[in-house]
Amino acid sequence: MNIVITGGSGFVGSYLCENLINDGHKIVVIDNLLTGSTENIKQFMDNENFIFMEHDVQNHIEIEDEVDYVLHFASAASPKAYTEHPVNTLKAGSVGTINTLGLAKKHKAEYLLASTSEVYGDPLVSPQNEEYWGNVNPNGERSMYDEAKRFAEAAVATYARSYNLRTKIVRIFNTYGPRMQLNDGRVVTNFIVQALKDEDITIYGDGSQTRSFSFVEDTVDGILSLMRSNEYDVFNIGNPNEFKVLTLAEKIIKLTNSNSKIIFKPLPSDDPKQRKPDITKAINKLNWEPRINLDDGLKITIDWINKELIRE
């Protein structure tokens, strides 16, 4: 197939490129490099089945060659990134989604949207299944990301109903692993970098808030399982094993043999107190569930981050 991946030089997007090129598909990556890096895709640059376009999805997208599939992954995805680039984040999820849907409509291509667990906001139910509508502050400090993704889902559903577009939505839960930006402000990278440098590990709040952490290979396997399926629906992809943020910090200190101390700072507004996916639908309809446990995934990630820090 001829596949367009927006945000393809990013963390998750670059793994999708790798898998799909290895499967023999032709890939066009569209990325403005706001949070992505050509370092993640440099091994494909000379591949005859790979094209890189430095372009912002909030601007019109024109591709003359045939397109069979559009995967829309372009967006700042970490709190640090979308706080630093709020308007671009808002436009990537809104205008960018409309533009990529238009591209799929023109080429009669299938379409997959990378949504997020953030559409559930600070959830009032746990675990969160795909039928839950969420508890989101539309005017909050995270709303440029949360509501852009909620709009994106509405746009996908509307195009599917209006134009018989074949669409799929994946709600991605906390994902970690090699190729993350070390300064992206996400909890796993923050803690590992601080631990490896023997710096204080910073926890916002008292550490009782929970997250579920999916290793990137598991997340990508889930996305590809949805992409290859005949399911045109919304799916949670994440790891349902729930951990307190404090427990994560303690694990990382132990795995890195760090001398770091844990310190506590005020919790940011609208920070979710709980995050746990219900993946029953993915298990039953996609025959997918995560395989890599947190300790094993953290060891791989710690080793990669350590090498990156040495290289710096």
Listed by start position, the domains of the chain span 2-175+213-237, 178-211+242-274+292-311
Cβ 71 vs Cβ 3: under 8 Å: yes
Catalytic residues: 145
CATH class of 2-175+213-237: alpha beta
Cβ 131 vs Cβ 188: under 8 Å: no
Q: Describe the crossing of helices 95-107 and 86-93 by its angle, rounded to 10 degrees.
A: 30
Cβ 185 vs Cβ 171: under 8 Å: no
pLDDT digits (tens, 9 = 90+) for 262-289: 999 987 776 778 889 999 999 999 999 9
Q: Give the helix/strand (H/E) hosting 255.
A: helix 245-256
Torsion sign over Cα 141, 146, 152, 153:
negative
Q: Compute the distance between CA of residue 27 and CA of residue 196 in angstroms, rounded to an integer.
A: 36
Cβ 152 vs Cβ 97: under 8 Å: yes
What is the pLDDT, as a whole number, of residue 269? 72
Angle at 297 (CA atoms; ends 291, 303), nearest 5 degrees: 150
Residue found under tokens 């509501």: 147
What is the pLDDT, as a whole number, of residue 272? 78
What is the chain's length? 312
Q: Which residues of the chain have pLDDT under 70?
A: 270
What is the pLDDT, as a whole number, of residue 180? 94
Q: Compute the distance between CA of residue 46 and CA of residue 48 in angstroms, rounded to an integer.
A: 6
Statement: 178-211+242-274+292-311 belongs to CATH 3.90.25.10: yes
pTM of the model: 0.95
What is the pLDDT, as a whole number, of residue 266? 87
What is the pLDDT, as a whole number, of residue 267? 79
